[in-house]
Structure 1
Amino acid sequence: MDGLFSDQPVIEPVSEAELPARETSVSVPVPPEQAFKAFTDLIHLWWPLAEYSAFGAESHLGFEQQSLLEESAAGERYLWGTVLEWQPSASVLLDFFLGGDPARPTRLRADFEPDDGGSRVRLVQDGWAAGQAGASQYEKYSDWPFILGRYVRFMGG
């Protein structure tokens, strides 16, 4: 009975199959303690705010009171995510919704491990919403290699 009501839009079903995690790993030439500190405390120095922010390149990004916040030059604040776990020198886990619906966060985890005199930083994002919302999240969060490339350059890699 397809096409019975030809004036009705065709709605393509969205697969309910779970979308895979996005995973990116990089190496930096410092121990995990320094890698973690630079990733968290100095995120405002390496994050590409010109490309990925709510307020643009002149804003400031940082972790504050269990939150990852962006602040505009005018003092406006935008919540990017909430910290679920914070293990200095080892890992940080966030409910992450940069530019998305806070009611539908993804999970973003960064792990820091010793690696041949430096550190391996492994970032995994998963926990996509179901249906079209999850497909949109998955498509949106595809630039981790570029973003972590900025972190590697900042760290001297």
Structure 2
Amino acid sequence: MTDPLSAKTFVGGTSGNDDLRANSQDTDGSYLFARGGDDILRGGKYDDVLTGGAGSDQYYGGAGADQFRFFGYDVTTGDRDRVYDLNFSDGDTIVFGSFATDTFADAAGINAYTNGTAATISSFEGLANMVNDADAVWATRKGTTDLLILHVTVGTETQTIEISNAYSAYVAAGGLIG
């Protein structure tokens, strides 16, 4: 079995604040891995994988079917990650990994695995099912904007992920708030 990331250009960050950009020439896409710090991850026109790490990170996938990754071992309360251009219809996904057992469960649009410690979300229906079915996950809205805010609890810490232009689609898919 071949590692799907091995074909992508690796763009690595540091423990500081980084501005990482995809390799625009690699048609396989790029794997942006920011590590610590408050980072900006900018995908390109191909299928990119963006992993922010600890800190408050900004994710811009760009064109292509991008993967936005979040890991339980990077969670620190107070960090707020933001995804600016999630587009499930382009093939974008949100991937969670290394969270507590049974945090996630299989449902339409969500594929949970590794005893519920990880999941891949492929639609707003999946996002709604994740929130509606999980005790450690909830969603809020910022004022009257279309900003959806996800909260995922890991022990005593909470992962906060803001998703631009997503609240309306999330609610239309049956997502609950609060």
User: Smaller-chain TM-score range?
Assistant: under 0.3
Greater C-alpha Rg: 1
Higher helix share: 1
- The structure with higher relative contact order (CA 8 Å, sep 6+) is 1
TM-score, with length taken from structure 2: 0.24
